[in-house]
Each structure stands twice: as C-alpha cells, then as structure tokens.
Structure 1
Amino acid sequence: MWNLNFISENDFKKHVVETIKKYGEKLESFNLKRFNKNIVDPIKLIFDKSVYQMSWAEIINNEIFRQRDKSNNNDIGYFHQRIFQYIKNCRVPQNGEEGGWDVIYENPNGIEIPNAGVVHTIYVEMKNKHNTMNSASAGKTFIKMQSQILDNDDCACFLVEAIAQHSQNIKWETSVDKKKVGHKLIRRVSLDQFYAMITGQKDAFYQLCMILPSVINSAVQELDNSLVPHDTVIEELRVLSEKKNFGNPDLSIAMAIYMLGFSDYEGFKNL
C-alpha cells in the first residue's frame, strides 16, 4: 500500500528515477585509467590499508566511492528541491526564473508563521547542509529575502536545510556588513518542519524516508544494467602486481599502487 498522501506513487518513483539518472557519468565503471585520472596518493592508500586493517579490495573500493561521491551532493540537492513540483501548492521555478527561488509555496487559505501572523506565500532557498554557506553567502541570501519581503508584505522567506542542526522553524539571524540582522518573516527551517507545514502532516518527511529505500531499490532494478557500475580497478592492479612479483602478494599490489603515482620517480622508473 502507498502511505504517502501528499505525493502519488507514480510521481515519487518518477522523481527517484530522474535523480538516479542525474548521477550521470559517476555511474560509469572505473577502470585503472579512470581511477588514476587525477593521480591517487599511493602513500595515503598504504597508510589507510594498514591503519584501518582493510583489504586492498576494500581500500580501492573506498577510493572509488570517494571519487564518485565528490559531486553527488548536487544530485541529492536535485532530489530535495525538485520533489516539490509534485506536491500541492508548490512550484519549482526554472533556473533563474521568478527571482531564482528554489521553491515557492502558495496557500490561499493562509500559512501560519510562528510569532509573525499569517501570509499566503513562502519563498524558499534550499541548502543540503547547515554549514555550506560562508558569511558572505549568508549575508547575500538574507538581503535577497529582505528585498522580497519589501516587495510583498504578504510573504515569508525560508532558508530550508535538509541536514539542519536541529528540527526547527526559527527566526534566522545572521550578519550583514558585520551587523547582526534578523526578521520575523525570514526564517531558518529544517526540512522536516517544512514538509510538516506544506503537507499538514507532522511526520511527512519521516514517512517519505521510510518508503524511500524500497523505491530506490525498485527503480535501480528496473533501470538498464548499464547504470550499474562494474569496476575493474582491483583486477587490473592484481594483473600488474603479478608482473611486479616481489614474492609477497600484498607487497606486489603495493608496488603496483606506488607506480600509479611514482612511475617517473627515481628508483621506481627503473621498475
């Protein structure tokens, strides 16, 4: 049974599939050439393997994951933002349109803002994590929100954080030109509190999280197998290590890894 009453099963699954596709080239398989495109640090890999007591396969897979993960936050940002296009009274403007807001929520029945009365529109700037804005960026965002309220006194502006420090819906206070500023209609809101406000369901975000893993697994199974990476790095390293046969398989792989970064260094180039 589908338990989310604020988004249909088809829309939710469609959005999950589109998010997976956004992973794009990061889903491409890693061979040794791609793995070492920016030259890995062999010393770090050697330390990590020994300190964390892991196998070479585990260390290599961790490094591949790290390389893939560097730009995945943008894809998850897509998931957090674009899902609201399927939720009643919300719209997600195209990039740069309607003031560049990430989400706009309008409710003709009014929206109660804690300690600030009722408005009919909320303009949202979304962030993946609470600590991703420096002071200059925070100041610029606050000024944008302040300008929106001056243009329309029947609105509020939210900084919505997917990973907030706390579940919260509070007045946002920051610094602009080294001066502390705040406004009762400019608020810092955790994602769960935003979902609760727009759906009228207190645990809406929790319910979404509970159903998400099964929907992702189902979507991955239905997608083309080409989207599932088949990495060959460790196999290629083992082939190289056999050529560098030092009598110890562990040392032989270590030498193959050294050659990724040090092949032109003195001593190594003779190998």
Structure 2
Amino acid sequence: MQNKYVEFISDEHLLKCIENLYGSYLRAKAKISKKKFYNNKIDTIKLTFDAKFNNLDEESIIETEILRQIDKSINNSIGTFHEQVLGEIEGFEIGKLSGFDIKASDNTLFADIKNKHNTMNSSASEALFQKLARYADDYKHAKCYWVQILAKGSFNEHWKGDINGKEYSHSRVFKISGDQFYALLTGRENALFELYKALPCAIDDFLKRVEEEQFIPINSALSEIKNETDITNRSILDQITFENYSYYLGFDDL
C-alpha cells in the first residue's frame, strides 16, 4: 500500500512524530504561568516600543512575548522530531540517550543532530568533535556526522579547523546539512523537501484526530496579569513593570 505522505517512513510513524511534537507544544504552553513568565526579567521598555512601532495593543504584545518564550523551549523538540523521523528509516535507529542521536544498525554511521547551525558555542563544538572522533576510533568502519538541519548551505564535508585554539581533524568525522543527511539516509535526493511538502497535509490529518477541548489555551500568564489589573487599575504593561521593577527608583508609584 502506497504511503500518503513520504516514501521513506510509514504514514502512522510520521503521524506519531507529529503527535509527540504536539505534546511538546502543549507542555510548553502549560508552563507559562505568570511566575514562569517573570523568571527572566521582562523588558517592558522594549515592549513599549514594540507595541507603539508595530501598532499592537498591550494584550497582543504580551501574547507575542509569551509565544517567544514558548518558541525557545520548542527548538529542542523540533530537533527531537527530526531524530524520530530519521530513526525510523530502514537500517537506522535512535540513540535513546546513548550519547548519539542516530546510528546505523550495523554501526557504520553515528550522528549528532542540531536543529540550527548556530546552537553551540566553541566549548560545545569542541566537546562534540571529540565525542564524534571517539566513535570513529571505536568503530573503524563508521562515519560520524555533526548534522545541521537548518544550515547556511548544502554540504557534506570533513569537519576540520581550529576550535578553542586547537586544530581538529579526523578522516571519518564530517559535518553535513539537513538536506544532505536526509538524502544520505533515505537514498532520496529530495527527501527533506518531500517531508516539508507533506507536513501541512499530515498535520491537518493529525489535528482531525485531536479532541476539540485540547485546543483550549492553557497558558495562564496573561489571565493572571489581567486579574491583577482588575484590582490595581493599572495597564497591563504598567502591571508587569511594577511587578518586575517596583524596587527601582520611582517605579513603586505606578
């Protein structure tokens, strides 16, 4: 029976990957209480500019800021989504907290997946190279990859160069862009593009399965802040500023 979405994994597995990511979104939203929202001091001066220059009302600007905080926690989950998709391709499997993200079943490939090319500082890059080099040394027929799903180019090349002032190179340690890695594992040149084109339909099909009540917004930060403004008669931004900076000179007069 022909797959509906992509050829390299089953429809049910892709829907399961989407379901797992959907759960991550729900959990991220659920965590944004007022206390969580205030964990990092809110820059209400910037939010004032954002509201005025982008012609947004205060509720919209706070909802945008909440979404920004959610987005930060979702980035890792997007990487996990790619791991789950790639780990289902025939001949490959997920690392399951084994020190690698994806490996070939015959130990000829090990990979560490990062969703974006710029998520590591120099120390993290050095540690990753050393880890991949150890796998290459332990498995003499293995090629080891730093995978950048969202890279600045399309490439599959040796990873070598200076990291933290030290020169690193290994004959079987590579860095590779997301499109090339999908092509390598599937044998399909445009596999990542095929996934991209299939996602809207697959997501729609998944959402049809979801109970309607799960769409109720479950982050409470804005409602908690608005409850306070009902008591204090402050604007939303003034309330946030007061609760974050009342110890600053003059700010206790808000």
Q: TM above 0.5, one fold?
A: yes
Return closer, same or farther for 1:200/1:230 CA change in 2, 3 Å cut-off. Answer: same
- Which letter does structure 2 place at the counterpart of 1:189? I
- Measured at CA, do residues 219 and 136 of structure 1 come closer, stay the same or move farther in structure 2, by a change above 3 Å? same
CA contact (8 A) 1:238 1:253 kept: yes
Higher strand fraction (1 or 2): 1
Gaps of 5+ in 2: none
Is it true that 1:53 corresponds to 2:42 in the alignment? Answer: no
Counterpart of 1:81 in structure 2 is 83
Aligned residue identity for 1:75: S
**What's the counterpart of residue 216 of structure 1?**
203
Name which of 112, 128, 136 aligns with 1:141.
128
The Cα shift of 1:47 comes to: 2.0
Identity across the alignment (%): 31
AA partner of residue 201 (structure 2): S
1:11 matched residue in structure 2: 13
Give RMSD over aligned pairs.
2.9
The farther-off stretch of 125-134 and 189-198 is 125-134
- Secondary structure in 2 matching 1:86: coil
Aligned pairs for 1:103-252 (under 5 A) are 103-106=102-105, 121-175=108-162, 178-224=165-211, 225-226=213-214, 228-230=216-218, 252=235
Give unpaired runs (5+ residues) of structure 1.
Answer: 108-119, 246-250
TM-fit CA distance, 1:101: 1.4
Residues 51/24 of structure 1: CA separation in 2 closer, same or farther (3 Å cut): same
Kindly provide the amino acid, as one letter, of the partner of residue 109 in structure 2: I
How far off its partner does 1:36 sit?
4.0
Q: 1:171 to 1:240 in 2, by over 3 A?
A: same
Write out per-residue CA displacement over residues 78-130 of structure 1, whole angstroms, 9 at most, x where no aligned residue.
1111222321000112213xxx11110247xxxxxxxxxxxx71111111211
1:258 to 236, 241, 253: 241
Q: How many residues align?
A: 251
Greater shift, 166-175 or 199-208, is seen at 166-175
Q: Read off the aligned partner of 2:68 and give its amino acid letter.
A: R
Q: CA deviation at 1:35?
A: 4.0
Work out whether residues 122 and 164 of structure 2, in 8 Å CA contact, stay in contact via their aligned partners in 1. Answer: no
Residue deviations 1:144-196 (CA, integer Å, cap 9, x gap): 22232233321211111111111111111133562323234211111111111
CA contact (8 A) 1:146 1:186 kept: yes
Give 2:144's aligned amino acid: C
Contact 1:32 1:236 in 2 (8 A): yes
Q: Is the 8 A contact 1:242 1:252 kept in 2?
A: no
Deviation at 1:255, TM superposition (A): 3.5
The amino acid of 1:203's aligned partner reads: N
Q: 1:56 to 1:210 in 2, by over 3 A?
A: same
Distance (Å, rounded) in 1 between the aligned partners of 2:124 and 2:179: 24
Q: CA deviation at 1:264?
A: 5.5
| Greater C-alpha radius of gyration | 1
Contact 1:244 1:255 in 2 (8 A): no
Distance in 1, matches of 2:33 and 2:205, equals 27
How does the TM-score come out when normalised to structure 1? 0.79
